Amino acid sequence: MRRSTVMWARFAAVVGGLSLAACSSESSGDGTTSDGPDADTSTDSGAVMADTGSPAAADTGTPVVDAGEPAADAGAADATVPADAGPADAGPADATVPDATVPDAGPPDTGVRDAAVDAGPVCRSATDIIERACGACGKQSALCESTDAGVSMGAFSYCFGERDGGCTPGNEPDGGVPCGRCGHARSVCQSDCTYASGSCIEPATAVCTPGEKTFKLGLSCPNPGEGRYATCGSACTFAFGDCVIEETWITASETIGGTASRSMVITSGKTIGRGGSSGTSCTATSTATPYETIVVRNPSAQNLSVSIWNSFGSGASSYYDTVMNVFAGETLPATRGACLGANDVCSTSPCISSSGLGGFPTASPITLNAGQSLLVYTGCWSSSCSTPTNLVLNVKTEAIVP
């Protein structure tokens, strides 16, 4: 602003000098004032002003006007800058650039190539063999053959090479795979054609495994030592049978000289009328004593001659008076009468001499036919015998007989 004021002052001085000069010239024409001292002074002063004012006006006048215009232009530019920098300028550019350049939406994802893959393998020559998976990790094959129309693929063969007991990948059996006690585990067939199962989920009502069998004393049975066998059914619950005497078993050896043994416990909680003491009569007496029974089985195809005797188990006494009875079959007869043998004392080999234990030594064996069983009864002689007592039943194969 100061420069503009100075320039305008100079411009005014120049204009004033020109005016004075003009006046001086006009005065000289009149001849009245040009020769006087005032006129000379005015003329000189005007000349000086003309000399100094004109160059300044000529050199700087135009730039002053130019300098003023940019100032006006700059002001106008300053006033419009906010409009140029506002949200309207940035919005369209930001919104359109990302949307226009997304590659996933382009045509290459759909086209002839995808359709060709879905169509499966094709024959290129008459010697091509085409294979595909089938069943439980098996495969089928088809032969490409020449025809009048060119080369075509024959029908696929039967499925071969399947995994034994395998499954079809992805298959999930209804209800899952059976497990545990009537439980099921969710299972899915894997790529190797085997099932991968989760944890077994059993029903709350399941208490046993199908086929399981156990014996329970008492259970409303009227006679001492009787009980019921409980057999687990398909619903994983027990069903109880009739009142019987519990039976356990061992299997006789098929080898001559081989011995099979089984431990047992004689306890006062299980009593029955004492059996016979000799010969082949095992009729029960009125004296109820503790006892135990064990079944001896012969699953072989050969008839066996066996010796049977008791020995002491862990912690048992060196003398324990017992009687042994042997019956055919696996059930203790309700009315005991005739039997295969009865013995009160066994003192010869392999029995333990002077032990008081009954048995049938090598010299008095019992015949056990092929596929048959024997039931061996061991009972206390006296109702006051010390119980419980650990005993062992031993069965030795002495010979194979016709």
Answer whether residue 206 shows pLDDT above 70: yes
pLDDT tens-digit map of 40-66: 444 444 444 444 444 444 444 444 444
Q: pLDDT > 90: what percent of the chain?
A: 32
Instruction: Based on the fold, state whether residues 350 and 228 are members of the same structural domain.
Output: no
Same domain for 371 and 395, yes or no, is yes
The region of weakest confidence among 52-66, 176-190, 207-221, 321-335 is 52-66
What band does 223 get if pLDDT is binned at 50, 70 and 90? confident
Tell me, yes or no, whether 367 and 339 share the same domain: yes
Cα–Cα distance list, 223 to 244, 284, 321, 330, 354 (Å): 9, 14, 24, 19, 33
User: Domain containing 374 — which CATH number?
Assistant: 2.60.120.510
**Is residue 174 a part of any domain in this protein?**
no
Residue 222 within any structural domain of the chain: yes
Q: Which one is predicted more confidently, 291 or 225? A: 291
268-322 pLDDT, tens digit each: 888 999 999 999 999 999 999 999 999 999 999 999 999 999 998 877 778 889 9
- 328 and 251, same domain (yes or no): yes
Tell me if 144 is assigned to some domain: no
Is position 380 within any domain? yes
Mean of the pLDDT values across residues 354-372?
93
Label residue 119 by pLDDT band (50, 70, 90): low
139: confidence class by pLDDT, cuts 50, 70, 90:
very high
- Does residue 232 belong to any structural domain of this protein? yes
Q: Note the pLDDT of residue 6.
A: 43
The whole domain housing 229 covers 213-242
80-89, 135-144, 194-203: least confidently modelled range: 80-89
Quickly state the pLDDT bin for 170 (edges 50, 70, 90). Answer: confident
Query: 237 with 259, same domain?
Result: no
Residue 123 one-letter amino acid: C
pLDDT 10s digits, 84-111: 544 555 444 444 444 444 455 445 544 4
Residue 251 lies in a domain: yes
User: Which of 46, 62, 78 is at the close of a domain?
Assistant: 62
Task: Report whether pLDDT(9) > 80.
Answer: no
Q: Are residues 226 and 320 in the same domain?
A: no
Shared domain for 232 and 260, answered yes or no, is no
Report the percentage of the chain scoring pLDDT > 70: 69
pLDDT higher at 287 or 14: 287
Verify that 353 and 272 share a domain, yes or no: yes
Q: Do 257 and 368 share a domain, yes or no? A: yes
Residues 233 and 363 in one domain: no
Question: Which of 159, 162, 163, 154 lies closest to 140 in space, CA to CA?
Answer: 159
Confidence bin at 248 (pLDDT 50/70/90): confident
How many domains, in total, are found in the chain?
A: 3
Q: Is residue 16 part of a domain?
A: yes
Output the average pLDDT for the chain: 76
Res. 29 pLDDT band, cuts 50 70 90: very low
Tell me if 339 is assigned to some domain: yes
For position 159, what pLDDT does the model report?
Answer: 93
Q: Are residues 232 and 362 in the same domain?
A: no
Residues 254 and 394 in one domain: yes
